[in-house]
């Protein structure tokens, strides 16, 4: 699949600034494939819509169009019920990774970055999706900075920010999986770190 291409996976946690880092990499002229974006595109596919609707025996259309909002409301109706989410993920993840692998295969670039928010959480299943990477770069800020950024971004209390962060794997735990850690406190400093890392890839 990879045909001598180097695949760099980028991940982080909520409010660590992963999108900012991905944009810096794009500005340097590199291709960055975004798994979230692919996920949105997948849900624009009528065949996938039909597959999802059949799996849950539900009609998720609204005004004649498939409604992500209606799907989300149904999946997360009971926050303690993981079964629906797992079922949806089992359908979507395969389709998403198929499209990702196809994009990598069709790309003319020798170095391709892939923005995957939950790659560490999905590590045990990556072989099932025929996806592998050469390096994992983690976008990092400490817990206190995460809380401050999330409070500012969502206009919420520190307690609410903590609750949101607690739903994810700890950023400190993610560090041990990373080949490289980009500390994202200062934009110029982050750019310098990325430029050094990219030079080592060439």
Whether residues 194 and 126 fall in one domain: yes
Q: Are 8 and 43 part of one and the same domain?
A: no
The dihedral built from the CA positions of residue 38, 43, 48 and 54, taken in this order, carries a sign that is: positive
* Nearest residue to 74 via CA among 83, 37, 65: 83
- Picking from 108, 132, 152, the residue at the C-terminal end of a domain is 108
State both tokens at 40: 């949105």
pLDDT tens, per residue, the chain with 202 residues: 466 899 999 999 999 999 999 999 999 999 999 999 999 899 889 999 999 999 999 999 988 889 988 998 898 887 667 888 889 988 999 999 999 999 999 999 999 999 999 999 999 999 999 999 999 999 999 999 999 999 999 999 999 999 999 988 999 999 999 999 999 999 999 999 999 999 998 7
| Domain count for the chain | 2
pLDDT value for 3 = 62
Question: What local confidence, expressed as pLDDT, does residue 78 receive?
Answer: 75
Q: pTM score, two decimals?
A: 0.88
Final residue belonging to a domain, choices 56, 77, 108? 108
Q: For the range 123-129, what are the long-range contacts, defined as Cβ-Cβ under 8 Å and sequence gap of 24 or more?
A: 123/177, 125/93, 128/94, 129/93, 129/94, 129/97, 129/98, 129/101
Same domain, 77 and 146: no
Write down the pLDDT at residue 25: 97
The DSSP output letter for 77 is S
Nearest of 112, 113, 94 to residue 42 by alpha carbon: 94
**Does 171 share its domain with 197?**
yes
Domain boundary among 79, 108, 137: 108
CA distance 172 to 27: 28
Q: What is the pLDDT of residue 167?
A: 87
CA geometry: angle 173, 18, 21, nearest 5 deg? 125
Check whether residue 100 and residue 121 sit in a common domain: no
The reply to whether 59 and 104 lie within a common domain is: yes
* Residue 119 DSSP symbol: T
Strand partners, 48: none
The domain of 190 spans 1-30+112-202
Q: For residues 8 and 85, state if they share a domain.
A: no
Same-domain check for residues 54 and 85: yes
Q: Are residues 126 and 90 in the same domain?
A: no
- The CATH number given to whatever domain includes residue 25 is 3.40.50.300
Tell me what pLDDT residue 96 has.
95
In terms of domains, do 23 and 75 share one?
no
What secondary structure, in 3-state letters, does 133-194 show? CCEEEEEECCHHHHHHHHHHHHCCCHHHHHHHHHCCCCHHHHHHHCCEEEECCCHHHHHHHH
């Amino acid at each position: 699949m990879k045909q001598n291409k180097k695949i760099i996976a980028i991940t982080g946690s909520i409010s660590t600034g992963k999108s900012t880092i991905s944009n810096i990499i794009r500005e340097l002229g590199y291709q960055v494939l975004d798994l979230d974006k692919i996920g949105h595109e997948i849900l624009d596919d009528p065949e996938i819509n039909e597959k999802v609707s059949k799996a849950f025996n539900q009609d998720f259309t609204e005004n004649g169009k498939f409604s992500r909002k209606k799907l989300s409301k149904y999946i997360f109706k009971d926050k303690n019920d993981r079964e629906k989410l797992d079922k949806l993920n089992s359908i979507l993840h395969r389709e998403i990774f198929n499209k990702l692998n196809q994009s990598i295969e069709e790309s003319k670039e020798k170095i391709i970055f892939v923005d995957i928010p939950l790659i560490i959480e999905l590590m045990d299943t990556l072989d099932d999706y025929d996806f592998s990477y050469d390096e994992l770069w983690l976008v990092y800020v400490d817990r206190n900075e995460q809380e401050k950024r999330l409070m500012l971004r969502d206009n919420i209390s520190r307690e609410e920010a903590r609750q949101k962060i607690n739903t994810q794997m700890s950023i400190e735990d993610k560090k041990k999986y990373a080949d490289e850690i980009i500390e994202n406190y200062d934009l110029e400093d982050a750019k310098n770190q990325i430029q050094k890392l990219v030079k080592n890839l060439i």
